[in-house]
């Protein structure tokens, strides 16, 4: 029995989420269907991170246990040829028998993109959240530094979150980039794991900071409160990307 890891990219617009659901298309469902078509095996494919409907991925990771004799290039090319155009397998590699895409992961990197142009770009409407008012990326970056380290992130947890809300944040930054000369603000957060809606709730709290409607120290107060009611609204899903997953 082999254990194969896959690096996956997808546009989450038309998916109900990454995990299999019975109410629409899922990334996992498409992958498992493509795997069965390629190898004639019916296998469960494990994903590193659960992304909601509309959330995209540049570096989602999955693993599948298999008896197929296909080599790695054939697996990568074959799956991508079978999969629909909004999901692709970028890489395939052999991993040890104990590797599990979710349980073995030690870090996940997310990026949230904001279209900060005066007029929303139609080309970015599915891939960045438009905020027309000028945002101060420097103020957002400064406020985010309080997230670094190990904290109880309960204030940024989505409804239905179970278990511990303590997480360790390794990186938090905000910078201005551009696409087609349209100004974009990229908010990057990396942690050992994330709570449900955690990044989107953090972004929703940061937007008033960038718009000078909340002070830079407000994020620290919200974090310390552990009270979801103190945080901002949940930012829309289509600005969020799972960029990468790291392993020991």
Cβ atoms within 10 Å, residue 4: 22
What is the rounded CA–CA span in Å between residue 124 and residue 130? 9
Catalytic status, residue 217? no
DSSP single-letter state for residue 17: B
Q: With contact defined as beta carbons under 8 Å apart, do 129 and 236 qualify?
A: yes
198 closest CA partner among 157, 168, 226, 169:
157
Catalytic one of 11, 52, 188, 218: 52
110 closest CA partner among 23, 45, 52:
52
Pairing of strands 2-10, 56-66: antiparallel
Catalytic residues: 52
């Amino acid at each position: 029995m082999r254990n194969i890891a896959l690096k996956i990219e997808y546009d989450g617009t038309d998916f109900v989420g990454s995990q299999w659901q019975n109410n629409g298309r899922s990334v996992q469902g498409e992958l498992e269907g493509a795997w069965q078509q390629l190898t004639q095996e019916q296998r469960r494919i494990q994903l590193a991170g659960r992304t909601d409907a509309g959330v995209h991925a540049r570096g989602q990771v999955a693993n599948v246990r298999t008896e197929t004799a296909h080599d790695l290039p054939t697996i990568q090319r074959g799956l991508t040829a079978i999969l629909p155009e909004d999901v692709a397998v970028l890489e395939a590699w052999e991993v040890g028998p104990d590797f599990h895409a979710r349980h073995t992961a030690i870090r996940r990197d997310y990026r949230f993109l904001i279209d900060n142009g005066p007029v929303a770009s139609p080309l970015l409407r599915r891939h960045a959240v438009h905020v027309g008012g000028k945002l101060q990326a420097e103020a957002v970056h400064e406020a985010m530094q309080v997230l670094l380290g190990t904290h109880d992130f309960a204030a940024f947890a989505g409804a239905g979150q179970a278990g511990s809300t303590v997480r360790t944040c390794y990186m938090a930054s905000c910078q201005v980039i551009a696409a087609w000369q349209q100004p974009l603000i990229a908010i990057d957060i990396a942690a050992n794991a994330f709570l449900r809606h955690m990044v989107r709730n953090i972004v929703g709290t940061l937007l008033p900071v960038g718009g000078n409607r909340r002070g830079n120290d407000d994020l620290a107060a919200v974090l310390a409160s552990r009270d979801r009611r103190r945080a901002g609204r949940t930012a829309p899903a289509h600005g969020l990307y799972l960029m990468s997953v790291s392993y020991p």
